[in-house]
Every structure is written in C-alpha cells, then in structure tokens.
A = this chain, B = another copy of it.
Amino acid sequence: MTRNTRDRILEAGLTLFSKKGFLGSTTREIAKKAGVAELTLFRHFSSKERLFEETIKRHSFLPALKGLLPELKDLAYREALTQIAIRYLERLSARSELIKIMHSEIHSYPTKVKEIKQKFLGEMVGALASYFRGLQERGTLRDFDPVIAARAFLGMFFSYFTFEEFMTDKKQRFAQKDAVVREFVGFFVSGTVAQEPEPGVSGKGKSQSL
C-alpha cells in the first residue's frame, strides 16, 4: 500500500493546494483528506514544502502535442486553428487545478512555477509557431513573427479560459465556447478588415461596402 498511500497524499495535496494555496493548506487537513495519519505524510515527504514540490512535479506532466501536428497538414487553415484552439482549451481544463496553483503561488515560488509554464505554454507555442512557419514558406500566410503570433493566439485563449474558469459561476461557464472559438479563430484567419474571404466561409459578411 506504499505506492497507494503516497499517491493519495499527492492527490489530496493537489486538491487542497489548488483550493487554498500553499500557506492556506495545512498538513493536518491534507492528511485527513488522504485518509492518512499526519505523521504518515511526514514519513513520505520530509516537509510541507517538499510535498508541495512533489505535488507540482507529479501533476505537471503533459503529453506532447506532437501527435497533433501531422493531422494539421490535412486540414484547411481555419479548421486547423480551430482544432488547436479546442485541444488547447481541453488541456487547460484538464489541468485547471494546476493553473490555480500557478496563479496563487507564482510570486512565492517563481522558479517552480516557471518550469510548469515552460512545459505548458512553451511546448504549444513552439508547435504552433512551426506550423505557422511552414505555411509562410509555402506562401499561404503573410510574413510575421511566428512565435509572437503563436503567443498571441494562445494568449487569447488562455485569457479567455482563465476568465471563464475563475471569474464566472459554474453554471454559465463556457456557455458560448464554440462561438468564442469561432470568433477568435476568425480574427486570426481573416482579420477584422472588411474584405471577406470567399463567400460563405464564415457565413456572415454583412457589410462589404465602405
């Protein structure tokens, strides 16, 4: 039961740290939530801080995005961006506990949190940037800094996610998610200038006349 006990403590740690922050969580409560004596917690982790680090490490692993890139080749630009956006939002949702911790502890544990952010954002930015770069070389996309573009794109969604996840009530959360994804992607695909892409693509185009 050793493995199991350790896991249960880490699980309880994730839950409580994300809910109450590092200082707001007590070892008593974590142990209780894990169904374990407080002493057992200290037998597995020498200190509360070590438990915190292990909790982050344990849960910050994220599967690579590499699987997505090949699929994108077969998709139209707009559709590819939509898929990326959806996947990205899904991954953020799956790790929302961890993002809470990042938010509340970033100033106390900048180094550790930066590591997470690096894994979380850096990987996606890199993948998206190289996707942009490929389309630029083919002449499909105009010239711009692919890394900045990737940051902007993911930044829009990250901002949207954190707002919805942490600022609104559960009931109304992500009510218009599809619409938001569509619009955000639309900005990236066609910009906000009046000229419409080929008719029927976005279904809107009410005003071409200047």
A interface, CB within 8 angstroms of B: 18-21, 23-24, 75-78, 100, 103-108, 110, 114, 117, 121, 132, 136, 138-145, 148-149, 151-152, 154-160, 163, 166-167, 179-180, 183-184, 186-199, 201-210
Contact = CB atoms under 8 A, between A and B. Distances in A.
Contact of A204 (B155, B179, B187, B190): B190
Given A151-B160, A156-B159, A207-B136, A191 B194 contact: no
Contact of A144 (B104, B141, B166, B186): B186
B77 A193 contact: yes
A20 to B, nearest CB: 7
Q: Which 8 A-B pairs have the closest CB atoms?
A: A191-B191, A155-B159, A76-B207, A23-B23, A143-B206, A139-B207, A143-B204, A148-B183
A193 B196 CA distance: 10
A103 B101 CA distance: 10
Given A188-B192, A203-B195, A208-B140, A107 B166 contact: yes
B194 A198 contact: no
B209 A139 contact: yes
A145 B202 CA distance: 13
A193 B141 contact: yes
B202 A198 contact: yes
Nearest to A101: B107
Given A155-B156, A193-B190, A193-B197, A108 B24 contact: yes
